[in-house]
Amino acid sequence: MLLIKDLEKNYRKGSAEISVFRHLNLEVQPGEMVAVQGPSGCGKTTLLLIAGGLLHPSGGRVTFNQYDIYSIKAEERNEIRAQQFGFVFQQYHLIPYLSVMENILIPDLTEHSINHRKQAEKLIEGLGLTHRMAHIPAELSAGEKQRTALARALLHSPLLILADEITGNLDEQNAAMVMQTLRDYTDGGKMVLYVTHDSRATAFADQVLKIKNGSLTGYAERLV
């Protein structure tokens, strides 16, 4: 379970202190997809970074299973993040000189597992990238890069996927494919937390929450 309790995040701009979150609370259970919406600049990406152990909050707690993420040692936090979290960023973060297959296998570089290669092939097929397997990022569309980044995040079957505007560069057919992939993944007992402006994406969520005045409000039933 991911539990965020009384989260606060503040930034300093000159002599002024800017508050992003004020006592924000969020819970994601195994088997649950949670979508977060809000206007640009409200802190959606900041929330993902904090939830994923990448950005220290100013206050509150982030608990993942039995671990208080920001109270444990950095080495422990890094290990949890590498083994249990999968990230899909808006910028993709693909290595430009590696192929689609090689980019997906980046988390496997220290293990060279045959099983992981088979899993990568399965993900490539399921996300419609078979014909692009040997292509480098410069030869891909924005949507193909996004699907490659998703396959990489799913490779190790992490317990929690954190995704930022995952359908933003996808047409209707590919957006449905990606969201159904995440829905099936979550129905297998995993967790997905994602931020989005896309109503096509929120239709797959168990909860749809909105950031307003530094807190989360709202709930919507799953539609798909």
Over residues 27-79, the pLDDT tens digits come to 999 999 999 998 888 899 999 999 999 999 999 999 999 899 999 999 999 99
Confidence tier at 199 by pLDDT (50, 70, 90): confident
Domain holding 83, by residue range, is: 2-217
Among the ranges 5-14, 25-34, 87-96, 165-174, which has the highest mean pLDDT value?
25-34
2-13 and 59-64 as β-strands: parallel, antiparallel, unpaired? antiparallel
Residue showing tokens 């190790």: 156
Number of domains in the chain: 1
Residue 64 lies in a domain: yes
Which three-class secondary structure string do you get for 54-84? CCCCCEEEEEECCEECCCCCHHHHHHHHHHH
CATH of the domain at 100: 3.40.50.300
Could you read off the pLDDT of 99-137 as tens digits, one per residue? 999 999 987 665 556 778 899 999 999 999 999 999 999
Give dist(CA 129, CA 101) in Å, integer.
Answer: 9
**Strands lying side by side in the sheet with 191-195:** 85-88, 160-164, 191-195, 32-37, 207-212, 215-217
pTM (whole model) above 0.95 = no
For residue 111, with 0-12 CB atoms within 10 Å meaning exposed, 13-18 middle and 19 or more buried, which class applies? exposed
Q: Is residue 137 a contact partner of residue 92, using CB atoms and an 8 Å limit?
A: yes
Average pLDDT, the chain: 90
Residue 165 lies in a domain: yes
